[in-house]
Structure 1
Amino acid sequence: MTPVRGRVVGLVVVPALLGLGGGWVLAGLDARSDAAAGPASPLAASSPSVPVTTEEPYAADGGPPALAVDLDYRDRRLGTRPFGWTYEAPAGWVATDIGAGETKLVPPDGVENGYGMRVKLVSERVAPAQMVEQKLAALEAGYPDVTVRGSSPDTLAVSYRSLPENWRRFNTFRWFTRPSSTEAVVEVSVFGRERDLPGLDDLLDQVAASLRPVG
């Protein structure tokens, strides 16, 4: 399994690309929740329906107080043997299956402009580094003002402008392999607002450290 990385804020920053939540214009994504779901492959974008950048100010996102750090966690399971995984998620968060091998978890009082996480089985059969490239390409094809906050061979941290809400949303994705394999098989993502970033970093680290294959 891919070693657990440090917090995303310590990743390589790519300021030239400034510009996991609000919505994504990807197949199967809910444009009012977060950008973590859907296939990583990019959309056809010969005539994109959204601009690459915009000067329009972001709308106030409001919502609940910032996500706390050091939450209580409980065991969860993703998938079934021999391809299942166990992981920990915040106690009391509500899990919703949004597709085969994909689960979204949010607080019981979660709102569209709040925070949460997703876990997803990956079937692309490519290395984590290629998943990073594909996810970024899909984002840049589907959203304005995509900002790469940091990246590594297995992690991508971005912000983007959600439409039509016009919120600035933040997602961080991380991909994991099985022991003795180079193929990404699990995607974990967290999403929220700028004030949630410390809590999102802590959440991703906690989930990543707990992720285990069930053979």
Structure 2
Amino acid sequence: MRWRTLGVALVALAVGAGGGWALAARDVPEKDGPERTGFATPAPIRAAHPEFPVRIYQDDPDDPALEPGIPLDAGVRLTAQDAQGRPSRYSLSLDVPKGWTQSSSAPAEWRFTRPGNDINAFGMRVKIVVTDEDSVARAIANREAAWRSADVQPENTVDSVNFTQEDSFGFRVDYVEDGYKRVAFERWIPANDGTTAFATVAVFGRERDVAGMEDLINLVYASMTPIERPAGN
């Protein structure tokens, strides 16, 4: 009786050790020859708390993609304002997308967007930064640090920041903002001294806009010319 009880316990333990699948045995009449046992088809059990949850992103706006080769207005001049709201001695000449809406979000910053587009489609930002007196390398490092800081701050809406295509004049950054997957290209030009960062241009949008974004920032960047009046004039 003692050995019989132990044998039953071992069989129960072996079946219990296969957790995660439901196994059902079928009674088979005794016959001459080896005994056969049938099993129900195993079915996976869904986890209550998946170890790797799938992230759901917002759907991209369905505005047409930014295409390479869009027409540009050449030689547009942008002038930064001083602390009193008057034109400063720092200006920038550059080509900008023809027909896009221009708005100023700061005394030395401008945004360009295609009329009628969703705010999460694509656009361009230009900023004169020479008053910060940073080198191009320092300006890029500070900007990357700001991106990384935004990524780790729980109150911010930006996360999953990843830098690619970095060089001595800028970078590409992939990120998520408000649940939308986004891409941005940012570049800096030096002042006439060849060292101090003078201005930056950024083009941002969706993955489908990347070809047009790269073309646009290359054209605009090549056209950017710093203008600095002598002090006191």
Q: With the length of structure 2 as denominator, give the TM-score of the two structures.
A: 0.65
1:16-165 maps to which residues of 2 (within 5 A)?
A: 56-75=55-74, 76-79=76-79, 82-122=89-129, 123-143=131-151, 144-163=159-178
Amino acid of the structure 1 residue aligned with 2:223: S
Q: Does 1:188 align with 2:195?
A: no
Amino acid of the structure 2 residue aligned with 1:135: R
Q: Summarize deviations over 1:146-192 as a string: whole Å, max 9, x none.
A: 011221122021011102xx011111110111223301010100000
1:160-171 maps to which residues of 2 (within 5 A)?
A: 160-163=175-178, 166-171=179-184
RMSD, matched Cα? 1.6
Amino acid of the structure 1 residue aligned with 2:116: D
Q: Of the two, which has the highest radius of gyration?
A: 2
- Larger relative strand fraction: 2
In the alignment, is the contact (CA less than 8 A) between 1:78 and 1:119 conserved in 2?
no
Q: What corresponds to 2:224 in structure 1?
A: 211
Tell me how far 1:55 sits from its aligned partner. 5.6
Q: Are residues 63 and 124 of structure 1, via their aligned partners in 2, closer, same or farther at CA, if it must alter by over 3 Å? A: farther
Amino acid of the structure 1 residue aligned with 2:216: L
In the alignment, is the contact (CA less than 8 A) between 1:63 and 1:113 conserved in 2?
no
Task: Give me the whole-angstrom Cα distance separating, in 1, the residues matched to 2:58 and 2:206.
Answer: 12
| Greater length-normalized contact order (CA 8 Å, ≥ 6 residues apart) | 1
Task: Give me the whole-angstrom Cα distance separating, in 2, the residues matched to 1:86 and 1:60.
Answer: 36
In the alignment, is the contact (CA less than 8 A) between 1:77 and 1:85 conserved in 2?
yes
Task: Give me the whole-angstrom Cα distance separating, in 1, the residues matched to 2:161 and 2:65.
Answer: 22
Amino acid of the structure 2 residue aligned with 1:204: I
In the alignment, is the contact (CA less than 8 A) between 1:173 and 1:187 conserved in 2?
yes
Q: Are residues 55 and 173 of structure 1, via their aligned partners in 2, closer, same or farther at CA, if it must alter by over 3 Å? A: farther
Q: With the length of structure 1 as denominator, give the TM-score of the two structures.
A: 0.70
Task: Give me the whole-angstrom Cα distance separating, in 2, the residues matched to 1:156 and 1:107.
Answer: 23
Task: Give me the whole-angstrom Cα distance separating, in 2, the residues matched to 1:114 and 1:98.
Answer: 18
Q: What corresponds to 1:24 in structure 2?
A: none
Task: Give me the whole-angstrom Cα distance separating, in 1, the residues matched to 2:117 and 2:63.
Answer: 8
Q: What corresponds to 2:210 in structure 1?
A: 197
Identity of aligned residues (%): 28
- Larger relative helix fraction: 2
Amino acid of the structure 1 residue aligned with 2:227: V
Q: Summarize deviations over 1:103-151 as a string: whole Å, max 9, x none.
A: 0000111211110101101032111111221111111111320011221
In the alignment, is the contact (CA less than 8 A) between 1:106 and 1:116 conserved in 2?
yes
Q: What corresponds to 1:43 in structure 2?
A: none
Task: Give me the whole-angstrom Cα distance separating, in 2, the residues matched to 1:149 and 1:60.
Answer: 23
Q: Which runs of 5+ in 1 are unaligned?
A: 1-53
Q: Which runs of 5+ in 2 are unaligned?
A: 1-52, 80-86, 152-158, 229-233
Moved more, 71-80 or 83-92: 71-80
Moved more, 59-68 or 75-84: 75-84
